[in-house]
Amino acid sequence: MGQGLQSRLMGMLDVVYPDLDSGFLADQLIQAMGLTADTPAPPDHTNNWSESDTLLITYADSIQRSDEKPLVTLRRFLHEQFGGTLSAVHILPFFPYSSDDGFSVMDYLAVNESHGSWRDIEAIAREFRLMADLVINHMSARSRWFENFRKRVDPGQDYFYEAAPDTDTRLVVRPRTSPLLTPVQTEDGERYVWCTFSEDQVDLNFRNPKVLLEFVGIIRYYLERGVQWFRMDAVAFLWKEAGTSCIHLQQTHELIKILRVLIEHHTPDAVVITETNVPNRENLTYFGNANEAHVIYNFSLPPLLINTLVTGNCRHLKTWLMSMPPAQIGTTYLNFIASHDGIGMRPTDGLLTEDEKQTLISTMEHFGGKVSYRQTSGDGQQAYEINIALYDALKGTEDKGPDKWQLQRFICAHAIMLALEGIPAFYIHSMIGTENDYDRMEHTGRLRSINRAQWNIEDLEARLADPLSHHSKVCGELKRLIGIRRKQPAFHPNATQFTLHLGLQVFGFWRQSVRRDQSIFCIYNITDEVRQVALSDINLIGTDCWVDLVSGLKIDDLSGEITLKPYQSVWLSNRE
Residue 399 is labelled as binding a ligand:
no
Residue type, 381: Q
On whether 21 is known to bind a ligand per the annotation, the reply is: no
* Nearest-angstrom CA–CA distance, 346 and 325: 20
Exposure b/e, 75-98, CB count within 10 A at least 16 = b: bebbeebbeebbbbbbbbbbbbbe
Q: Is 548 labelled a binding residue?
A: no
User: Is residue 200 annotated as part of the catalytic site, yes or no?
Assistant: no
List, in sequence order, every residue forming a beta bridge with 382; answer none if it has no partner: 374
The annotation status of 138 as a binding-site residue, yes or no, is yes
CB atoms within 10 A of CB 331: 23
Known binding residue 232? Answer is yes
**Quick one: which of 433, 501, 508, 424 has its CA closest to 49?**
424
**Which of helix, strand or coil describes residue 150?**
helix
150 is in an annotated binding site: no
Residue 471 assigned to a binding site: no
Is residue 83 within 8 A of residue 127, CB to CB? The reply is yes
With CA atoms as reference, report the closest residue to 404 among 520, 300, 529: 529
As beta bridge partners, residue 102 has: none
Residue 181 and residue 195 in contact, taking contact as beta carbons nearer than 8 Å: yes
From 53, 133, 200, 233, the catalytic residue? 233
* HEC string for 213-245: HHHHHHHHHHHCCCEEEEEEECHHHCCCCCCCC
Give the strands of the sheet with 519-525, arranged side by side: 496-499, 506-512, 519-525, 569-573, 546-548, 554-555
Amino acid found at 140: S
131 labelled as ligand-binding?
no
Active site residues: 233
Binding-site residues from annotation? 100, 138, 231-233, 340-341, 448
Binding-site residues from annotation for substrate? 100, 138, 231-233, 340-341, 448
